[in-house]
Amino acid sequence: MKQYSAEDILRIVNEEDVEFIRLQFTDIFGQLKNVAVTRSQIEKVLNNESMIDGSSIEGFTRIHESDQYLRPDLDTFAILPWQPATRKTARLICDVYNPDGTPFVGDPRGALKRVLARAEAMGYQFNVGPEMEFFLFETDEKGLPTSRTADAAGYFDMAPIDHGGNVRREICLMLEEMGFEIEASHHEVAEGQHEIDFRYADALTAADNITTFRMAVKTIAQSHGLHATFMPKPVYGINGSGMHTNMSLFKDGKNIFFDPNGPKQLSKEAYSFIAGILAHVRGMAAITNPLVNSYKRLVPGYEAPCYLAWSASNRSALIRIPAARGSATRVELRCPDPACNPYLAIAACLAAGLDGIEKNLTPPAEITENIFAMSEEERKAHGIDSLPGNLLEAVECLERDPVIVHTLGEHIYHHYVAGKKREWEEYRTRVTDWELKKYMVVY
Ligand code: GLU
Ligand code: MG
Residues with CB under 6 A from ligand 1: 133, 239-242, 297, 303-304, 334
Q: Which atom of ligand 1 is nearest to the CA of 305?
A: 10
Q: How many angstroms separate the CA atoms of 381 and 110, rounded?
A: 42
- 232 preceded by a cis bond (ω within 30 of 0): no
d(CA 411, CA 395): 16
- CB under 8 Å to 354, separation ≥6 — which residues? 115, 118, 119, 122, 124, 273, 276
- For the segment 367-397, what is each residue's pLDDT rounded down to a tens digit? 988 888 889 899 988 889 999 999 999 999 9
Q: What is the pLDDT of residue 316?
A: 77
Q: Which of 133, 291, 314, 333 to mutate to test the pocket of ligand 1 (most atoms within 8 A of CB)?
A: 133
User: What DSSP state is assigned to residue 365?
Assistant: P
As to burial, measured by CB atoms within 10 angstroms (0-12 exposed, 13-18 middle, 19+ buried), residue 406 is middle
Look at strands 32-38 and 18-26 and give their pairing. antiparallel
Give residue 163's pLDDT: 82
Q: Ligand 1, atom 5: nearest CA belongs to which residue?
A: 303
* pTM, 2 dp: 0.96
DSSP state, residue 352:
H
Collect the ranges in the chain with pLDDT lower than 50.
none
On the CB side of 375, CA atoms within 13 Å amount to 2
Please give the pLDDT value at position 358: 98
The predicted-structure confidence for 225-245, as pLDDT tens digits, reads as follows 999 999 999 999 999 999 999
Which SS3 state, helix, strand or coil, does residue 278 take? helix
pLDDT score at 130: 97
Closest CA to 67 of 104, 32, 113, 31: 104
| Distance from residue 152's CA to the centre of ligand 2 (Å) | 17
Report phi then psi at 173, rounded to 5: -65, -45
CA dihedral 157, 161, 163, 166 (to 10 degrees): 70
Residue pair 409/390 in contact (Cβ under 8 Å)? The answer is no
Q: What is the pLDDT of residue 382?
A: 87
Inter-residue contact 338 to 245 (CB < 8 Å): no
- Among this protein's residues, is 176 annotated catalytic? no
Give the Cα separation of 315 and 373 in Å (integer): 13
Residue in 195, 197, 208, 269 annotated catalytic:
195
DSSP state string for 90-114: EEEEEEEE-TTSSBPTT-HHHHHHH
3-state helix, strand, coil in the chain (%, to 5): 40, 20, 40
Nearest ligand to the C-alpha atom of residue 190: 1
Strand partners, 216: none
Which entry of 17, 43, 53, 140 is annotated as an active-site residue?
53
Please choose, from the candidates 113, 109, 88, the residue with its C-alpha nearest in 3D space to the C-alpha of residue 26: 109
